[in-house]
Amino acid sequence: QKEVEQNSGPLSVPEGAIASLNCTYSDRGSQSFFWYRQYSGKSPELIMSIYSNGDKEDGRFTAQLNKASQYVSLLIRDSQPSDSATYLCAVNPNSGNTPLVFGKGTRLSVIA
Amino acid sequence: ETGVTQTPRHLVMGMTNKKSLKCEQHLGHNAMYWYKQSAKKPLELMFVYNFKEQTENNSVPSRFSPECPNSSHLFLHLHTLQPEDSALYLCASSQGQSSQLAETQYFGPGTRLLVL
């Protein structure tokens, strides 16, 4: 069974700090990786996608992928209270239109 | 706005009622999804339609009945639901082709359902 594991948190960081969110996955053949942000009572919103080993930066967000370790992370620099949300890691186990497998999410709280 | 709309946004129904949830996507996508998200629980994939054909039914009870008349519209028909079915029901869409860029799913705002 394909699994995506995340620490449920809450992860508390002070405003301005770097928040580090981690995700591991079980299917070594996974090709595509996504981070979604979900505010309480709202629907998930895509933040980042990453397909190759290494880092991918977009503004204050950096996604890191290590396929050998089956590990993907999301770093949020200069964390703001508005970043407080649940962050969902999603993995596509194969190329093509296989449904994404979602982790349970990590709740992030940025303290002003 | 993601280009995926859902109606109604909120729904309260009794266990004997019949109601339908509607999802519409304006992205030209070919794959559509229904997810259930209960309080403090992860997303649960319910149904997947790709090019109007149902490709996945994740052991969902028959009181939930999906319908996909075309690639832009997806319905979830509800009948004789139970209180434990109260949850946020999310619709999503993706390109539906064999391409890395095609796998990204875009979510609608959800329908918050309360079954009394």
A41 to chain B: which residues are within 8 Å by CB? 88, 112
How would residue B10 be classed by pLDDT, with cut points 50, 70 and 90?
very high
Chain B residues at the A interface, defined by Cβ less than 8 Å, are 2, 31, 33, 41-43, 45, 48, 50, 55-56, 88, 90, 94-98, 100, 102-110, 112
Query: What mean pLDDT do residues B101-114 have?
Result: 88
Per-residue pLDDT of chain A (112 residues; tens, 9 = 90+): 678 999 988 999 999 999 999 999 998 888 889 999 999 889 999 999 999 999 999 999 999 999 999 999 999 999 999 999 999 999 987 655 567 889 999 999 999 9
Residue that wins the pLDDT comparison between B103 and B63 = B63
Mapped onto helix, strand or coil, the DSSP state of residue A40 is coil
Strands A11-14 and A106-111: parallel
Instruction: Express each pLDDT in B35-77 by its tens digit.
Output: 999 987 888 899 999 887 887 777 899 999 999 999 999 999 9
Q: Between vectors from CA B9 to CA B5 and to CA B13, what angle results, nearest 5°?
A: 135
CB B50 within 8 A of CB B66: no
CA distance B14 to chain A (A): 22
Strands B31-37 and B10-13: unpaired
Beta-carbon contacts of A32 under 8 Å, excluding residues fewer than 6 positions away, are A49, A50, A51, A91, A92, A95, B100, B103
In angstroms, the Cα distances linking A78 to A75, B67, B69, B73 are: 10, 45, 46, 40
Within 13 Å, how many C-alpha atoms sit on residue B96's CB side?
20
- Predicted pLDDT of residue B56: 77
Amino acid (1-letter code) at residue A6: Q
> Taking Cα atoms as reference points, which of A48, A43, A83, A78 lies closest to residue A63?
A48
How would residue B18 be classed by pLDDT, with cut points 50, 70 and 90?
very high
Amino acid (1-letter code) at residue A78: D
> In terms of CA atoms, which chain A residue is nearest residue B99?
A96
Average pLDDT value over all residues in chain B: 90
A43 to B31: CB separation less than 8 angstroms, yes or no: no
Left, alpha or beta for B19 (phi > 0: left; psi -120 to 50: alpha)?
beta
- Predicted pLDDT of residue A92: 85
Q: What percent of chain B stands above pLDDT 70?
A: 95
CA distance B99 to chain A (A): 6
Beta-carbon contacts of B53 under 8 Å, excluding residues fewer than 6 positions away, are none
Torsion, CA B98, CA A44, CA A32, CA A3, rounded to 10: -110
Q: Is the peptide bond before B83 cis (omega within 30 degrees of 0)?
A: no
Q: Take residue B6 and report the two structure tokens written for it.
A: 């859902």
How would residue B102 be classed by pLDDT, with cut points 50, 70 and 90?
low
Q: What is the b/e burial string over A66-90, where b = at least 16 CB atoms within 10 angstroms of the residue's CB?
A: ebeebebbbbbeebeeebbbbbbbb
